[in-house]
Amino acid sequence: MKTKAVRLYGVNDLRLEEFELPPIKDDEILAHIVSDSICMSTHKAAIQGPAHKRVPKDVAQNPVIVGHEFCGQLVEVGAKWKDQFSPGDKFTIQPALNYKGSLAAPGYSYKYIGGDATYVIIPPEVMEMGCLLKYSGEAFFYGSLAEPVSCIIGAFHAQYHTMSGSYVHEMGIVPGGYLAILAGAGPMGLGAIDYAIHCDRKPRLVVVTDIDEARLARAAEILSPEYAKEAGVELHYVNTGKIDNPVEYLKGFTGGEGFDDVFVFAPVRSVVEMADRLLARDGCLNFFAGPTDPAFSAELNFYNVHYMSTHVVGTSGGNTDDMIEALDMMGSGKINPAAMVTHIGGLDAVAETVLNLPNIKGGKKLIYTNKSMPLVAIEDFYKLGQTDKFYADLADIMKRNGYLWCAEAERYVLENAKDI
């Protein structure tokens, strides 16, 4: 079986290649990938190469397939797994395997599995760890978004709080509490807002900050304060770039108390330090954004750590339970991560997109791995449609669906875009 895939060979060295996959073993599964959404973590792996903690040191001799937010269908199932899986099953994967304490993960560490490919071989450890998850949704792209949504869910579950006089840690955000999402108008921030509004431990107040007015406006249009109010949550969007004393201003929403839970969605020192100053007693700061600089640091107030019990957690992904929760919430319609998607492309757009990801504005870049397409912003469909019927049709579909990527648009791409 031949596959086409984007493979990492070293620092900034990504190559789209066609090569032969070996026959599967009895404990492996052959799968067809349909969609993959590109994560900033893949960019970090590409620019760091073998220095990245998940990338093998010998990647130059044994290149790995990149991409870990993928969805597809099973093609051939090895004998060991035939009682659990069947050809034709839709699937997604929890890439954080945690197999025997290893950091190895699909999309970072394996020769034959990663999201930016047409066909892959799923190794036995994925099934052994319960990380191959059946997916019953209509659109493949939701299966791709399950992984980033699970990272958000995992961050909310990783929060913890205490009670005076007790050493017991209660996990999760404070129900009915005050929550802030800093630098939160990007794709992952949108997912966090959506989850905060609809989760079982929803806060009473959510304040979202950013310094990009266009991103804030888009966020407020997609997840409006009025919409949040219907769910019992008070939601505010704040451009802190226009405020002289943002800490004092933001604390004003809490009556000066501060926030129980503060999430940091950008690896920026000033944002981390502002988050620290926003914490209430027993406040928990979640450093969600992963830096590329191994020496990244910020100052924290340890007086408040000692006397106010403020504390910090960091999360770099969700677990399988988080991913199952993501799939369940998407399937039931409680959350809709489609707003995270702002660009569409084909497999031949992956390498350039990954390497330039920080410079491409917008949210998630969704790749249809069996198609040849440049990376195009959804907002540009109408303009391109003036001379290209393909994009004109997509623009019409988007208009009918509130300008959010959707199953109808995906079907059109799969049926009409040029094959890779």
**Share of residues in the chain with pLDDT > 90 (%):** 91
Spell out the CATH class of 163-308. Answer: alpha beta
Query: Strand, helix or coil at 282?
Result: strand
Task: Identify the sign of the CA torsion 91, 94, 95, 100.
Answer: negative
Average of pLDDT values for 57-62? 97
What backbone torsions phi and psi does residue 162 show, to the nearest 5 degrees? -125, 170
The two domains 1-148+318-420 and 163-308 share their CATH topology (first three levels equal):
no
Distances (CA, A) of 370 to 20, 251, 346: 16, 49, 7
Span 373-413, pLDDT tens digits:
999 999 999 999 999 999 999 999 999 998 999 999 999 99
Q: What's the pLDDT score for residue 371?
A: 98
36-65 burial, b if ≥16 CB within 10 A, otherwise e?
A: bbbbbbbbbbbbbbeebebbbeebeeebbb
Task: Say how far apart CA 272 and CA 88 lie, in whole Å.
Answer: 46
Query: Strand, helix or coil at 286?
Result: strand
Q: What's the pLDDT score for residue 165?
A: 85
Q: What's the pLDDT score for residue 4?
A: 98
- pLDDT surpassing 90 at residue 316: no
Q: Which residue has the tokens 């797994």?
A: 81
Q: At what angle do helices 140-158 and 320-331 cross, to 10 degrees?
A: 120
Span 183-238, pLDDT tens digits:
999 889 999 999 999 999 999 999 999 999 999 999 999 999 999 999 999 999 99
Predicted TM-score of the model (pTM): 0.89
Indicate the pLDDT class of residue 52, thresholds 50, 70 and 90: very high
- Across 39-131, the runs of DSSP E, i.e. the strands, are 64-65, 70-77, 90-93, 119-122
Average of pLDDT values for 354-360? 95
Q: What's the pLDDT score for residue 163?
A: 86
Q: Which residue has the tokens 């869910």?
A: 153
Indicate the pLDDT class of residue 75, thresholds 50, 70 and 90: very high
CB 266 within 8 A of CB 291: no
Token pair in block for residue 407 = 């199953």
Smallest CA-to-CA distance from 321 within 175, 206, 171, 178 is with: 171
CB 311 within 8 A of CB 285: yes
Token pair in block for residue 194 = 């959506």
Span 170-197, pLDDT tens digits:
999 999 999 999 999 988 999 999 999 9
Task: Say how far apart CA 91 and CA 71 lie, in whole Å.
Answer: 6
Q: What is the DSSP letter of 254?
A: G
The rounded Cα 49 to chain-centroid distance in angstroms is 21
Q: Pairing relation of β-strands 170-171 and 160-161?
A: antiparallel
For the chain, the average pLDDT equals 95
Domain residue spans in the chain? 1-148+318-420, 163-308
Percentages of the chain per state (helix, strand, coil), in multiples of 5: 35, 25, 40
Average of pLDDT values for 51-61? 96
Q: What's the pLDDT score for residue 128?
A: 97
Spell out the CATH class of 1-148+318-420. Answer: alpha beta
**Share of residues in the chain with pLDDT > 70 (%):** 100
